[in-house]
Structures are given as structure tokens and as C-alpha cells.
Amino acid sequence: MKDLIKKYCNLLGPSGMEDSVREAIIEDIKDSGAEYQTDAIGNLIVFKKGKKRRNKKVLLSAHMDEVGFMVKYIDEEGYAWFDSVGGVDRRVVSGRRLVFCESNIPAVVASKAIHMQTLEERGKCEPISEMHIDIGATSREEAKKYINIGDCAVFEPNYEEFGDGLVRSKALDDRFGCAALVKMINGELEYDTYFAFNTCEEVGCDGAKEVAHNLRPDVVIALEATTAGDILGVSKSKCACSVGEGAVLSIMDRSTIYDQTLLELAVETAKEKNIKWQYKNVVAGGNEAGVYQRAASGARVLAISAPARYIHSASNVLAMSDMEAVYQLAAAINERSFE
């Protein structure tokens, strides 16, 4: 799975521009025997026959998009003013290296240097609306040869393994989830299963809304990354989850109260298969599970997540063992009939 994660993380795919990710996934599953189609807004829906049929329609879901930035104005000096695509903390933006998706043009996020700041400005993080992107142009005319209003950029691809089994990269949220689903599709399944690789999760889970209405699954397992708090200055009671401690099971977040029966099944399965797991111990965030739970005729939902430090930044940090645990637990649960 490591090679798939690296390949998908290094692709450029902010919300609404997931084409390269979808094409790579199709290339990787085309010989699996699965049926697949793309809907009107770019979601990739896959159906893979298993050894048996289920009475319930079970869907495993992950999103293809990543956070990014969109140009909203190009000034006379050739700088691009921009806004974020998805939830990006402004503290992790200034000085970062970017790549434009349409042109593959490299860029850097610029803001006023400390030497030029007033005493009142020092120590304060300026809003994204006052930052700009520098592509090396010296005029608006020159800049517009390479970029235009509406063009999108993402953090520069930077996949790297470091420390004791850790990985750092942009877009691990949720390209690792995509890799886990691809690995499942390319293996043998006990039961017929649907898979969704969704668009636009970072801007409101729009892709999942479409899938929910068209597919109307009975049971959904969302594979995600979730914020880890095992960093300096965060108390254990507010840690949420820890890198290296296994797959994360959420009880409740800002969009969902998870199905208690599915949650119990996940815990039972993890213990039975000796898969490392942990509870998410704060009520925060949300993901596509909330959409599946409420949309169309509704669905029973479960989220299995990998703990991620510095999520939605240029360097998400996850443990390979946690990502493997998410895959193993999802695959083991999918062996159940859900009668």
C-alpha cells in the first residue's frame, strides 16, 4: 500500500480538480474485475463482486481531494492574491512552496517580511487575504501568461518517510484512504461491495451527497484522516488520538453520532483480529459519514480514521502502521454479512 500512498499524495488534486487522482485510481483497478463509472461531478463509483451477495448494500468511501488555494486577483506587479480551498490554518501558509495544477508552475506564498513589519504587526499571523503568491513574474501581463483568476494551487508534492515508521506529505488526508480502498478492490472480497472515491469533501462533502442520493447505501464505512493531538502543549484529555496507536474509531463528531452497533462490531473485530485501535476522545471535526447518515433514505455509518499530526498543512504526519491498521480493520469488517 505504501507505493500507492506515495503516488496518490504526489498528485495535484484540490477540491473540484481531482481528475489526475481519479485517472490514477482507474489505472490501478482496471484489471481487478470491478465495474466502475464516473458521475456528473467527478466521483468514481466502483462495484466489485465477492464470493457472496448481501441483502444490505455496503459502501466503503474515501475522498480524492485535498486542500488548496485559488487565485482571485493578479496585481500590476505580477503577484497573485488568493483564497483557500477548504479549511487551511493561515499559520501554515506563509512561505510555503506551491504548484499550480493547470500549468505545473512552481510558486511560493509571500507575505511581509519581519524586517518590514511594524512593532504592532510582529508576532501576529496575517490573514490569507493579505498574503500573495509569487510565481517570479514582474508584471500582470507576464503573470497572466502562466496563471489566471480561478486557477488553483496546492502545496508542493513532498512525500517522505522519516523517523520510526512515519510518513510526511501533503494530501495524506485522504489519499491514504484511496490507497486502502484500491488495495481492497484488487483483492478477493467475501461479499459484493461498493466503493466511492469522492470529490469536494474539503469544501462541504459535495461528492458524498451525490453518491448518497444515487447509490442509497444501507451501511457506509468512511476511511479518513483525523486530527492527532499528541504534540507538545496538548493535554491527554484533549489529545483526540495519537499517532502510532492504531486505527481511530469515532463515537461522535460535529456532524455525526455514529451507529452504536457498527461501532461495537468494529471494536469486536479489532480485538478478534488483533488490530491496534483507539477511540477518538474529543467531539470535533466531521467527515462524509455525516452526509451519508442524513442524505437520501439515510444510512448506518462508521468512520475508521488514521491519526494525523498537522492535518491540512504542507506536512501531514502519519504512521504507516496506523494506515495499515485502518485498511486491515475496514477489510475485516467488510467480511461481515450485515444481515
**How far apart are alpha carbons 9 and 225 in whole angstroms?**
13
Enter the C-alpha cell of residue 265.
462490531
**How far apart are alpha carbons 31 and 148 in whole angstroms?**
39
Under 8 Å between Cβ of 145 and 280: no
Q: What is the pTM of this model?
A: 0.94
Other CB atoms within 10 Å distance of the CB of residue 252? 12
Q: Cα-flanking dihedrals φ and ψ of residue 337, to 5°?
A: -80, -30
Q: Is residue 67 helix, strand or coil?
A: coil
pLDDT of residue 125: 80
Superfamily of domain 68-155: Peptidase M42, domain 2 (2.40.30.40)
pLDDT of residue 185: 98
pLDDT of residue 111: 76
pLDDT of residue 284: 83
Q: Where are the domains of the chain?
A: 2-66+170-333, 68-155
pLDDT of residue 75: 96
Q: Is 160 exposed, middle or buried (0-12, 13-18, 19+ CB in 10 A)?
A: exposed
What b/e string do you get for 178-191 counting C-beta neighbours within 10 Å, with b at 16 or more?
bbbbbbbbeeebeb
Where helices occur in 84-160 by DSSP H, the ranges are 140-143
Query: Which of the four CATH numbers 3.40.630.10, 2.40.110.10, 3.40.630.30, 1.10.3720.10 does domain 2-66+170-333 have?
Result: 3.40.630.10
Spell out where the chain has E strands: 35-38, 44-48, 58-63, 68-74, 80-85, 97-100, 106-110, 132-134, 152-155, 160-162, 166-169, 193-198, 219-227, 247-249, 277-279, 300-308, 316-319
pLDDT tens for each residue of the chain, 339 residues long: 999 999 999 999 999 999 999 999 999 999 999 999 999 999 999 999 999 999 999 999 999 999 999 999 999 999 999 999 999 999 999 999 999 999 999 999 987 777 777 787 777 788 888 899 999 999 999 999 999 999 999 999 999 999 999 999 999 999 999 999 999 999 999 999 999 999 999 999 999 999 999 999 999 999 999 999 887 777 777 778 999 999 999 999 988 999 999 999 999 999 999 999 999 988 888 899 999 999 988 999 999 999 999 999 999 999 999 999 999 999 999 999 987
**How far apart are alpha carbons 320 and 258 in whole angstroms?**
26
pLDDT of residue 294: 94
Other CB atoms within 10 Å distance of the CB of residue 237? 9
Q: Is 192 exposed, middle or buried (0-12, 13-18, 19+ CB in 10 A)?
A: middle
Catalytic residue among 18, 66, 201, 210: 201
Query: Is 190 an active-site residue?
Result: no
